[in-house]
Amino acid sequence: MKTIRFLLQKEFIQILRNRTMLPLIILMPFIQLIILVNAATFDMKNIDIYVVDQDLSSTSRGLVDKFEASPFYHLEGRSFNVEDGREDLLTNEAEMILNIPEGFERDLRRKNQASLQLLINAINGNAAGLIQAYSNHIISGYNQHIAVEWTQGVAAQKQQPLEVVYSYWYNPEMNYKIYMVPGILVILVTIISLFLTAMNIVREKEMGTIEQINVTPIKKYQFIIGKLLPFLIIALFELAFGLLLGRLIFDVPIVGSLWVLFGVTVVYLLVILGFGLFLSEISDSQQQVMFVTFFFMLVFILMSGIFTPTESMPDWANKVNVINPIAYLMRIIRMILLKGSGFADIWQEFYSLLIYAFLSLGLAVWRYRKTA
């Protein structure tokens, strides 16, 4: 016990006296959290549109007014020539051209039907789909409006026979940020704990100090505990502080039990730390271990469902995710914080992580040799 205490003391002194690393470890994650959560949004606003109104009737003007009044759109320019708009589309100054052809109002009055064209920059397919949906919404609203006006209210009675109502649970304001905060927090905690452990032992190897430890009577398990515990504590501290920031700045609800959350996180961190330790044992240089770690990180992060739901991934990806620890915590942390799921809802994931922790720590202990 005493040996472990001294080892811990040594590690903490080494971490705390490093004046360049300390601010990186403590400040960086939180600056990132605050900035990046704001960046991560799929909400569309200020869509730049270019209006080509060749009809210039009261009906077409009414429609353009509707677009202008919408908070989602911003009128970038207008002319009578579609080519001018295309130029703007090419230079990214406009995202969509609303092209109302000549005779729009006349056709609408005489044939009860008129068409208009939406030219959308679709390089970002997702955004283009949303722009189209928003535009259709405005147009059909306007359509309804003039239908009622022109038929003196007859149209109003002919509503849809099936009424669809919807309600958004757990997040009625559709705030995307409260979904991203836990996600980015998981990433930050993972980066810190994985990289610090992975680089730590290799550094001792490169410096030659590992041999000094090897000749001492320190036992294998004492050494590993001494190496892992400090990073576990740092990571838990980061999680706690990150949650506090999320609560204060982004109003992230904490519906579920924090005890369960921290319990799961400890097990998760054991997986990550064991993994980092193992990687550092099989690597020869900091550059190498960093690159290998980085590779796994990137793959695991992208597949974990942080940006896109795991449900829309193909089956093989979900099979790969069985060995992806980040995917487990990503799911659990959001369930606990946002929906208040309890241990009964997550026990399967919890036990999987527990088994995983045994495997990864076991691997690390087995691979650690006191001989050089």
Partner 1 sequence: MKRFFGFVRKEFIHIFRDKRTLLILFGMPIAQILIFGYVVTNEIKEARIAIYDKSKDAVTHEITDKLLSSDYFRLAKTIEDEQQIEATFEKGDVKEVIVFESDFDEKLHHEQSAQVQILLDATDANMANLLQSYTSGIINDYSRHIKVSSGNMPAIKPKPRMLFNNELKGVYMFVPGTMALILMLVTAMMTSISITREKEMGTMEVLLVSPLKSVQIIAGKVMPYVALAFLNGVAILALGYLVFDMPVHGNVVLLLGETLLYIIMALSLGIFISTVSPTQQVAMFISMFALMLPTMLLSGFIFPIENMPWPLQWLSTIIPAKYFIILIKHIMIKGTGFVFVWKETLVLLGMTAIFIGLSIKNFKIRLE
What CA–CA distance (Å, rounded) separates 139 from 57?
16
Cβ-based nearer residue to partner 1, 7 or 105: 105
Residue whose CB is less far from partner 1, 222 or 350: 350
2 to 31, contacts with partner 1 by CB under 8 A? 20-21, 24-25, 28-29
- Which range of residues in 199-207, 234-242, 270-278, 359-367 is near partner 1 by CB under 8 A? 199-207
Binding letters toward partner 1, positions 97-136, x by CB under 8 A: -----------xx--xxxxxxxxxxxxxxxxxx--xx-xx
In the set 334, 353, 357, 360, which binds partner 1 (CB under 8 A)? 334
We find the least distance from the C-beta atom of residue 359 to partner 1, in angstroms, to be: 22
Residue 139 phi, psi (nearest 5): -65, -40
Complex with partner 1: residue 63 or 222, whichever CB lies closer: 63
Both tokens of 370, joined, read: 């006191």
Nearest to 91 by CA among 56, 131, 121, 55: 121
Q: Which range binds partner 1 by CB under 8 A, 222-230, 235-243, 267-275, 339-347? A: 339-347
Q: Is 365 exposed, middle or buried (0-12, 13-18, 19+ CB in 10 A)?
A: middle
DSSP class per residue in 204-243: HHHHTHHHHHHTSS--HHHHHHHHHHHHHHHHHHHHHHHH
Contact 72, 26 (CB under 8 A): no
Q: Which of 267, 338, 353, 361 binds partner 1 (CB under 8 A)?
A: 338
Options 75-83, 236-244, 265-273, 311-319: segment touching partner 1 (CB under 8 A): 311-319
Amino acid identity, position 109: R
First to last CA, the chain: 25
Tell me the per-residue interface mask from 202 to 241 with partner 1, x by CB under 8 A, - otherwise. Answer: -x--x-----------------------------------
Distance between CA atoms of residues 344 and 329, nearest Å: 16
Q: Which of residues 26-85 bind partner 1 (CB under 8 A)?
A: 28-29, 32, 35-36, 38-48, 63
Hey, what are 340's tokens? 């208040």
Query: Side by side, which strands form the sheet with 47-53?
Result: 73-79, 47-53, 96-100
Residue 93 DSSP SS3: coil
Which residues in 287-306 contact partner 1 (CB under 8 A)? 287-288, 290-292, 294-295, 298-299, 302-303
Closer to partner 1 by Cβ: residue 195 or 223: 195
CB of 206 to partner 1, least distance (A): 7
3 versus 99: smaller Cβ distance to partner 1: 99
User: For residues 60 and 360, which CB has a smaller minimum distance to partner 1 in the complex?
Assistant: 60
Calpha distance 285→202 (Å, rounded)? 6
Residues in the interface with partner 1 (CB under 8 A) total: 117
Task: Report whether 279 contacts 289 (CB < 8 A).
Answer: yes
Q: What contacts 55, CB < 8 A, 6 or more positions away?
A: 100, 101, 102, 103, 104, 105
Q: Between residues 58 and 117, which has the closer beta carbon with respect to partner 1?
A: 117
Tokens of 240: 């706690």
CB of 307 to partner 1, least distance (A): 6
| Residue 76 C-beta: closest distance to partner 1, Å | 11
Nearer to partner 1, 101 or 266 (CB): 101
State which of positions 131-190 bind partner 1 (CB under 8 A).
132-133, 135-136, 139-140, 142-143, 146-147, 150-151, 155, 158-172, 174-176, 178-179, 187
Maximum separation of any 2 CA atoms in the chain, in Å? 97
d(CA 100, CA 188): 49
- Residues in 257-276 that interact with partner 1 by CB under 8 A: none
Closer residue to partner 1 (CB): 105 or 226: 105
> Contact 293/276 with Cβ under 8 angstroms?
yes
